[in-house]
Each structure stands twice: as structure tokens, then as C-alpha cells.
Structure 1
Amino acid sequence: MSQLSTRLARLLNMVPYFLARPGISKEKAAAELGVSVAQLQSDLELLAVSGLPGYGPGDLIDLTFYDDRIYCYESAGVDRPLRLTSPEATAVLMALRALVDMPGIVDRRAARSAIAKIENAAGSAQAEPEATTGDNATADTVRDAVQQRRALAIDYYAASRDTSSHRTVDPIRVVLIANHSYLEAWCRESAGVRLFRFDRIDGAQLLDEPSAPPGPARQAETDTALFDADPSMPIATVRVAPSASWMFEYYPMRLLRELPDGWSEAAMTYASDEWLTRLLLGMGDDVQIEAPASLATRVRDAAVAALAAYQS
């Protein structure tokens, strides 16, 4: 999602960029836009078939880029200010306010500025206090590091190990996975790419050195295998104690709801009854199975048999 939105923003910015720089070379344009020449070529090919409904002559963005030089003759209105209808403005405002409350998804400062401008244009400007909490400041610092391509020092809480650590990282991008925003970065201590959940970054400090992840790490797609589950596998409904919340990072689990007692109800994908039975027996009282009933009976019978073996 983050990569798609980043590319869309880049494509929209390219049209006025090329209008202002007729005849720019592909190599120079790629360097200034922060992409490879191959990525630039792909973006140009997509722009060339984009435009207004109808998509006939005069409707499409008019670009030439077959030689080394790039020219833009017709913008198809992309460079003109957008006029929102009242329902459209309301929908945009609702979306922006929701995004402001989610750490790391957007730059809160830019979102609040956009909210103020839209409300002012609609004649309904309302003062919204600038949030100054530590969490917001940390998220802003992380986003600044990504945008400015600077190295970052962070204090991070790893729920899977219930430990905090200080790390120096080279930011790559911000990604959204399962309703949580993550900083994808090269961790110098681990010598590998890691995902750091925004709400578990306890502190962040910009460093006076550029972000320099290895080339393959920067160019690779975000690895979300940890969060993906095979839809063909069975799913169990379990209750998870607060002390076992680290399981959401380690196993293919989807939060269903937070319970009043602090526990969580989750859907968990598993490979076989035998595997999940062994896992739940090892978790003790921290994880309780609710469905399917046959699996709950299997786990209970295995627990009873284990206790009997100890007593004998």
C-alpha cells in the first residue's frame, strides 16, 4: 500500500516536473526524482497511457521519451488545482482526520495543514490544537528520517522477546501492514532488513549521516511473509492473554476484538491439529482455544493425559 501511494505521488509530481524541464535527460531526471532509470522508464510508460475519461487523442498526457530526452506537451489537467465538491471535501476531511490518529501513516504536520486549508476553503475552519505528545514527536522524527534519507537511532521494544534495545538503522520506507505502520530499515546491529512497528519505537534521533542501506535492500519489495497466511489452511479462534501478545508478531494471527479483561480474541491459521495442540500445550493458560470445538477437546484431552503421565 505504501509503495503504491508513493508511486502515485511521484507520477502526479512528474507531469509539472517535466513541463518545467523540457528536454531533460532520463539519467538526470532519474537522479533528481530519486529512482533508477529503469523505474523512470516504467513510470513514463504508465503516464503515457494516463489521462482524462475518454482516453482518446487530446485526453491523454502527451509525453515523448523514446530517445534520451523527455518532453511533456499536454498535462491532461494534472497540473491544475483540484476543485472538490462539498461531499468530496467532507470525505477527504474524514479520511485525513482518521490518518492523523494513526502513527506513521502520514506526516501529521502535512495532514493538519491540509485539513486547515480544506476547512478554510469550505468556510468551516476550526482550530485544531497541535499534538505534542512524545509518540507523535517520535513518529514525526522517523518520517523525517525517511524523507531526508538520514540515519536514525531508535529505542525499540520487541514484544516477542519483551526487551528494549537501542539500534542504529538506515531507513528505507514506511509501510502499512494489517492496520499498523512500520518503519522498514536496515538494522546495523542485525545486519539485515527489519520492520519496526511505530507504536513500539520509544524514542528516535536523527543522525548527521545519510541513510545508506545496501542497494539490494533498498530495491527489494517489502517482505510481509510473517504477516501472510495461506487461505487454504484451517483457522482456529483463540483467546490470548496480555502476556502472550508477542504471538501476533510471530504467528499468522488476526486480531478479532479486544476483550474487557485485557485479553484478545484472534483468528489463528495453523497447519495441522497436531501442531497447534503442541503449541497450545506449551503456552499453558496464556492461550485458550474457543473454536473449533473438536480441536478444543483434543487440546483438553492431551493436557489431561500429560498431567496423568506426571502423576504416574
Structure 2
Amino acid sequence: MTTPKPAVHAAREQVGRLLVLVPYLHQRGEVRVSEAAEALGVDAAQLDKDLRVLFMCGLPGGYPDDLINVDLDALEGEGIIRVDNADYLARPVRFAPSEAAALVVALRAIEQSASPETREVVERTLAKLETAGAASAAQQIHVSDDASPGTDLLPVLQGAIDRGRQLEISYYVPTRDDQSSRIVEPRAITRVGDATYLDAWCHTAHGDRAFRLDRIVAASELPEAVSERAAEPRDLSGGWFHGDGETVAVTLRLQPAAQWVPEYYLVTETSPGPEGTLDVVIDVASESWLHQLLFRVAPHASVLAPVEFAESFTANARAALSLYQERSVG
């Protein structure tokens, strides 16, 4: 039985509502709770909770003049929301040059491997950024087609997706130094993080898989049509995916400082741990990915199971620490 997700999972949704609510109220001066709840798509009780968090938010410093002011008397007595000392949230957000450059590079990389429909959206977004001047510092950036291995197979892969046909691919897995032939039912080509993937149902693995384009050695379209298993693309926008092989369920114990992890990565189970900790189970397809995550949250997380994963990370951490010690001695 899966444990209900803790309240921390709702933090992103709450922040999103508050960022929408403040400009909404700033334009109107005041608004009834029922009207604001309907506009935001939440019930009045949830909005009341959000507002009691809002009056503890504001500019860095935390002094009374830095915080957003919510009129609690009007909220509790008249059911009316009044907010002030939040003018800075009514100003439009502007990109710094480095932010604009990073956004344009990412969009242009997506544009090269996207489907025609997605490419059209990306082109419109780039045009709006450049019209608004947000990308003025990045307009000269060029992303070369040769920078991403595997892009030469894009016409074959995208053609099979468009025609609803299965593919035979030759796929290389560097961690096992193994190259195998697979029959897959492709759904979409998508970008997750810094890599581009073919999202497909794999006949060899009998399940959903995401194949990195730079590891697909060859691909050919087959006459067989895809089944309902490949009818709809999966949402991989969260950045986590089932990788080349079988996944391993890893149990992590998170201290309060690391309890943001379930907000950003898919976890299958959560349960309270001792002394305010949180135990989560996450399906891991790459041990190196797990090590990277643990280095990010160290020393506020530990591996409870499997034991070999805990031991391998400890050995990896000691090896990294020894490099720093050697440099300091030198």
C-alpha cells in the first residue's frame, strides 16, 4: 500500500498559486475569497491556507516592512482579501543576459530534434523572445547540428513516428559495453536535460524505455504498425526516466534539508522516518545518476537499501575526498 504523499509535495503548486494571486490582487485592490478561489481553481479553504503562508513571504531580510501584508481581519470577518507591500511582484520579470542566452540555447537545441508540431511552438517562442528583446545578448548563438551524435537518424525515427510504424534499432549500452538489436514501438522524440531520447515501447524489455539518440547506432522502419502501447507520448518533462535496463528500487532517508528531493524526482513511496526524517523509494536506472544526486544532498541523505548501493557510494565519496586531500598536501 502506497503511503499518501506528505504535504511537502504540494509546495510547488502552492508557490505557483501565490505568484499568480499577488498580481491578480494588485490589479483589483481587493477581491472576495470565493471569487479568487474560482479564478485560481482551488477551494476557499485551500486559498485561506495559502494566504496564511503569503503573509510570511517577502523580500530578503524578514523584517515587518519586508513582508507581504495580508489583512487577516478582512479575510476572517468579511471574506475579502486585501494585500499590500507586494508591488515588486507586479513588475514584469526580465531575463538577465546569461538567463536569456541559456534559454535560447536550450530552445534551439530542442528545435533541431523536435517534431513538426513542437518545432512550430519553439519557433514562435524564440520569435517572441527576440521581439521582446529578452534574447538580445544571445541572438548570435548558433547550435550546430553536428554537436549531437545520432541526429543523422532523426529523419528515420521521426518518419516512423509520423507513420505509426515500428522500428528495428541497434542500441549500444556503454555501462555493459553491449550492442543489441531491438524492436520498438516509437512514440516521440523528446529532450530531457542535456540529451535527446526516443521514447518507445520495447519488445525486448517488454516495457517502456527511453533510448538516447547518441547510443542508437542504426535504425530502420518496419512495415508493422505500432499498437495501443505506443498510442500516446509519455510526459518526460520532469527530467526523470526509465533508462536502458531494469530499474532498482532504492530507499533513501532524507534529513529536512534534503526533503526537496520528492518535489523534483519521481518517488514511488514515502513514509516518515525517525527524528523528522523522510524515507522515500525511488526507481533508479543508473547508479552513477544516484551518486550524483547523493553528492548534491550530502550529508543530508543516506541509502538504506540496497546495501551494495550504499557501499558503492561510500567508496566513491572516499575516493573523491582523497583527491582533495592529495591536492592540499601537494
TM range (shorter): 0.3 to 0.5
When normalised by structure 1's length, the TM-score is: 0.40
- Name whichever structure is richer in helix by fraction: 2
When normalised by structure 2's length, the TM-score is: 0.39
Higher relative contact order (CA 8 A, sep 6+): 2
